[in-house]
Chains A and B, each alone.
Chain A
């Protein structure tokens, strides 16, 4: 079937705007992860869900960042009052079972957010 999809692929926001980034994981995948990738850097872990439960949100950089996965499938990463330092590619990944390292993570294409 289809892989992980993310929308929008590109988003330009004015500083102070709120944005919502969507992730559709592979059907049946229990675990879902969000990463932030700044230019020239590797992905940085933001948060992790197992079904609808957010088990780890230690990587969220501030309380302006909020993620949800209410029905254990689609997830939304919301950023309130965007700042220029939020400009990055936001990656979503899903895996069939288990925690972060137990099973292969399948990545989406990412959403490139530019805050002007």
Chain B
């Protein structure tokens, strides 16, 4: 079965602390993974994709095929990082599977 699991619905950290949002996937093919973010009162938007190996707003995510994970990390969280984060998997059937999302709150 093709599935994306985000085990934490809510995550709260203090400003300046490291943050890791977990994402695990189940997929038999070669995965293509993304992180999307939705800030308050804004649209869902792409944060980063594994194929680009980029760092956006200080966030990085490494695809670990052995652990079937694509965790999102940032060494020093900022208050403006507070948002809803979704991990997503593109499948060969040409659909996109989203996780249920993690609400990150960064406290001052």
Contacts and interface: CB of A to CB of B under 8 A. Distances in A.
B86 A43 contact: yes
B70 interface: no
B45 A42 contact: no
B95 A59 contact: yes
Task: Give the size category of B's interface with A.
Answer: 20 to 34
B95 A100 contact: yes
Interface string B82-107: 00001010110111111111000000
Contact of A42 (B49, B91, B100): B100
B45 A48 contact: no
B62 interface: no
B20 interface: no
A107 B44 contact: yes
Contacts of B99: 42
Interface string A45-79: 10010000001101100000000000000000000
Given A91-B44, A104-B46, A58 B93 contact: yes
